[in-house]
Chains A and B, each alone.
Chain A
Amino acid sequence: DGGITQSPKYLFRKEGQNVTLSCEQNLNHDAMYWYRQDPGQGLRLIYYSQIVNDFQKGDIAEGYSVSREKKESFPLTVTSAQKNPTAFYLCASSIGVGDTEAFFGQGTRLTVV
């Protein structure tokens, strides 16, 4: 089955540690996105990538980093520079240019203690 997979579903980390969230898709989509969602709030765009080896900052990129070495993979690293990292993180993909039909993963809930 084609789809987009995020792992792990729940993640706990100590304050000051970097943590990497995984996102893999087998839909052959060019575009991939990372969003952050806080309780009761909408989605805020962190980073997005249109093609391999290229990505752009979204609205709240500070304290995060990404890579796009393979078409299928778009991992997100939450660094110690992110002041309030506890949130629900969502990864998505879409075919590419001009396409607004995106497919989302099930999300990773990150808790920093």
Chain B
Amino acid sequence: LAKTTQPISMDSYEGQEVNITCSHNNIATNDYITWYQQFPSQGPRFIIQGYKTKVTNEVASLFIPADRKSSTLSLPRVSLSDTAVYYCLVGDMFSGGYNKLIFGAGTRLAVHP
């Protein structure tokens, strides 16, 4: 099973770039890396997904080195509304084709004025 390790919490200030790194040493060949964002009392929301190198969308960038044992979510110029919990997870396939989404504890990002 591919498992992930992230920092428990991070602090930043408005306008700064935030980089959250996730370790996934046992990632499998067919696994994708996915990041979610969760605000209090809401369900998580998909942010970005990638397999290798770099992926960018209107919300964030995802950097994945060649060995794929880690990934970094980059949030450019954060605002107070980016205060949330961020989860890193990898696709988890079992025999029989089941896909079980395993969420770790996530990283609690606090953005300060």
Contact = CB atoms under 8 A, between A and B. Distances in A.
B30 A56 contact: no
A68 interface: no
A107 B40 CA distance: 11
Interface of A is mostly: strand
A90 interface: yes
B100 A98 contact: no
A100 B34 contact: yes
B87 A106 contact: no
Interface in B66-113: 85, 87, 89-91, 93, 97-106
Interface string B15-50: 000000000000000101010000001111110010
Nearest to A35: B103
B98 A45 contact: no
Chain A interface category by residue count: 20 to 34
A41 B90 CA distance: 19
Contacts of A107: 41-43
Contacts of B42: 106-107
A56 B102 CA distance: 14
A48 to B, nearest CB: 6
Nearest to A99: B99
Interface in A11-35: 31, 33, 35
A100 B32 contact: yes
Contact of B98 (A41, A56, A103): A56
Interface in A86-113: 88, 90, 92, 94, 96-107, 109
Interface string A62-106: 000000000000000000000000001010101011111111111
Interface of B: 30, 32, 34, 41-46, 49, 85, 87, 89-91, 93, 97-106
Shortest Cβ-Cβ A-B pairs, 10 listed: A104-B43, A43-B103, A42-B105, A100-B34, A100-B91, A97-B97, A90-B43, A101-B46, A50-B98, A42-B106
